[in-house]
Structure 1
Amino acid sequence: MISPVLADRRVVREPGPDASTGKWSARFSVEITEDEPVFAGHYPNSPIFPGVCVLECVQGAAESAPPPGAGRLEPAAVESARFLSAVRPGDVLEIDLTWVPRGTDWRCNAKVETARGQAASVRLRYRNGATT
């Protein structure tokens, strides 16, 4: 898959069961630098990281930390995406993921924050693909 986002994800909390809920969770950090190609022409003099790129960061994090025993997960839907504040060059996205089983599917809930507070809330649905 080709991504419009250059930034790499850094694992802050390894994927594993959350101590308080027992649900599979992880935390990632993504530094958004001013050399991201999507900033070119996107609100000159006041660049904003597009919401679709925030979704890309969440999806990449989710797919690198699937719950154990889930098999091969395939993206099925963006169930919800709320963008609560702008992400700007120099921001660091802190992405908290929690996986919840939904029948044979899985939901990945994500909270995205910057130093200024909550930036987005995202729910992704994944379908179990064929196992190999």
Structure 2
Amino acid sequence: MHPEATSTSVRQPLSPLREPVRVVRQAALVDGGWRSAASFRVRPDEPVLAGHFPGFPIFPGVCVIEAVLQAATRTAPPEFGPLHLDTVESARFRDAVYPGDTLAIEVEWDRVDQGTGCAARVSTERGLAALVRLRLRRGDR
């Protein structure tokens, strides 16, 4: 164990994103299910763009998933409590995301066993960019 660490210290998650996602709408009941929304602007100076297709930068898919994860954990229904990533169940990328794009992230929630599942639809100004399904676990890690 690192000399400064204790058994009660909590490791903060690392993110490849320079800026956090912005909450657009906290989870609300819509048509009998929980829905929430967030957005993220891909800044042209995002460090992850530097080596991802030099000369023709594309925002990496793993960063799209990270934006969905941040959107999910920041907009979840309060009754779910703290959430942490358990599994990326699926990710289907439909269109590239470029510097300057704004991701609109719509999240739909469902409960699965002892965890929580969410499905996200990620769009840019050009239309659908990705469909992502996550399974999150509840608790303080």
Q: Which amino acid aligns with 2:17?
A: V
Structure-2 residue corresponding to 1:127? 137
* Cα distance in 1 between the residues matched to 2:14 and 2:49: 17
Note if 1:22 corresponds to 2:23: no
Q: Deviations over 1:27-76 (max 9, x none)?
A: 11111010000111211111000000001100011111122322332321
Give the length in aligned residue pairs.
129
Q: Secondary structure at the match of 1:58?
A: helix
Q: Deviations over 1:79-106 (max 9, x none)?
A: 0011111000010000001110112221
Q: Secondary structure at the match of 1:60?
A: helix
- Residues 70 and 8 of structure 1, relative CA distance in 2, 3 Å threshold: closer
Identity %: 47
Note if 1:83 corresponds to 2:111: no
* Cα distance in 2 between the residues matched to 1:81 and 1:13: 23
Q: Which amino acid aligns with 2:70?
A: G
Q: 1:11 aligns with which of 17, 20, 23?
A: 23
Structure-2 residue corresponding to 1:102? 112
Q: 1:40 aligns with which of 24, 32, 50?
A: 50
* Cα distance in 2 between the residues matched to 1:130 and 1:42: 34
* Cα distance in 2 between the residues matched to 1:51 and 1:108: 18
* Cα distance in 2 between the residues matched to 1:108 and 1:46: 32
* Cα distance in 2 between the residues matched to 1:130 and 1:53: 24
Structure-2 residue corresponding to 1:111? 121
Q: Which amino acid aligns with 2:101?
A: D
Q: Which moved more, 1:63-72 or 1:119-128?
A: 63-72
Question: Structure 1 segments of 4 or more deviating over 6 A?
Answer: none
C-alpha contact 2:23 2:74 (8 A) present in aligned 1: no
C-alpha contact 1:33 1:90 (8 A) present in aligned 2: yes
Listed as ranges, the gaps of 5+ residues in structure 1 are: none
Structure-2 residue corresponding to 1:62? 72
C-alpha contact 2:22 2:40 (8 A) present in aligned 1: yes
Listed as ranges, the gaps of 5+ residues in structure 2 are: 1-12
Q: Which amino acid aligns with 1:16?
A: A
